[in-house]
Structure 1
Amino acid sequence: MTEAAVRDWVRQAAVGAGERDGLTSSEREELAALGRENRGLREDVEVLKGATAFFARRPGERASVHRRGENCGSQRQTACGLLQVSRTASYTRRNGIPGPRRVRDAELTEETTIVRQRSRGTYGAPRVHAVLKREGTGCGRRRVARLMRQAGLAGRTPGRRHRTTVPDPHASTRADLVLRDFQPGPAAIGTRGCGDIAYIATEEGWLCLATVIDSASRRVVGWATADHLRTELVADTLTAACRTAARRAQ
């Protein structure tokens, strides 16, 4: 222990007892705390000034929130604390070097695009994730969905189902006049026929296509289209089939 240290202790004890003028230990600690708080406030003001200059810049003008100088590191640390980011991320962002996560996201985006191209653009995030997992690529489904959303990729959704046949429970049954004999043959041409109605989705809505097919020749002998399923559609189809049969008979 040195004499200087003893003299400082004796002098500080006399100040604390009121025997000498000066600052007590508690006052010195309070003054040091106020000084640290004042320095922190000044750093915050400098950061806010830089942020104001950044957001008030003209289009095309480059500006930096951080100023170069003696307190550049301290200001950067304060700014990172306010933004709740690490200083490493700040330097990486300033230098333009992508981090490991961003590099991995770019790789996964490329792999996701390849998988979607193999599916002819039909796979969505769940199926793409299943394919990547099956091929040994470790990633989460939500991550794949986020990357596909950022890349503007989306799977094809199934079209709206259209109810076609509405049976009437009170309708009477019809007799089977052909006894389920639909085998082709030249001798049976023009004697047996069957009908069907197809539903085609268009930009203007559903299109109903009714046809009559000759069971022996498998040829379409009559057809008609409409945007409804009323009796007129079936009647027009049968009329067209009768006209075809009449022309063949002449």
Structure 2
Amino acid sequence: MYRKGSVVSADGTTIGFRQFGSGPGVVLLHGSMLAAQDFMKLAEALADDFTVTVPDRRGRGLSGAHGADYGIEREVEDLQALLKETGASRVFGLSSGALIGLRTARVTPAIEKLALYEPPLSIHDSVPVEWLPRYRRELADGKVAAALVSVLKGLEADRVFRTVPRFILVPPMNLALRFQRKAVGDNVPIPDLVPTMSADMQLVGQLADTIDDYATIDADVLLLGGSRSPAYFERSLEALTGVLPRSKRITIPKLDHSGPTDDGGPAEVAQSLRAFFA
């Protein structure tokens, strides 16, 4: 069971969170098309040793809207507010959440240990973006299932979606989303999460080719990836290994980009995090 709380970020936006366990503080940052609900198993696996704070990033659930001037600066401010509120010095981020953790660590000495799972740090256009215009058109037309398929095929994060034709994928996806339209407790319905990819891809574009910026990070960094993830995540991790002053790499067998989530392999990820954060 978790406790609920919130903090007000620098621009006045409320950032709500779920909190588990007791001990040294850890903040877990989810990626796009996700919310705090997707880190429940990971948080519970760490709760015996740590006070684990899992926010709904802005634009989702317990938190306020993205805002008119949304960008990486707002996300950094949100994480800084969470760190100040909780006293945490350890941060874990998945995907776009990893980008936020990375950027925040440059300017936030409070972060002593930073764990990153497959940040989509684009290096010379390594992260695919050709699918974005179609995705945004489909969202504008209210075709949420089609937009979700465009994301999954475009980012190549799942082998099934890479190979199966769109006309086969969209109808069952549409049916599945119909059963996910009502919120259950604090959880955010999946159709409400699909549009968050647009804002997160804004972060990817904003941080493209910024690899050299991270040479000044003082925190100890753990770089995590799954053996079944697309190659462009490996390229990001390799580049970070080359510039970060203190980093360690771990590749977790049989996991893909969803590894830390409830649908992936949170127990395996928690094992690496527990050792690193201790």
TM-score by length of 2: 0.18
Structure holding more helix per residue = 1
TM-score by length of 1: 0.19
State which structure, 1 or 2, has the greater radius of gyration over its C-alpha atoms: 1
**Bigger relative CO (Cα 8 Å, ≥ 6 apart):** 2
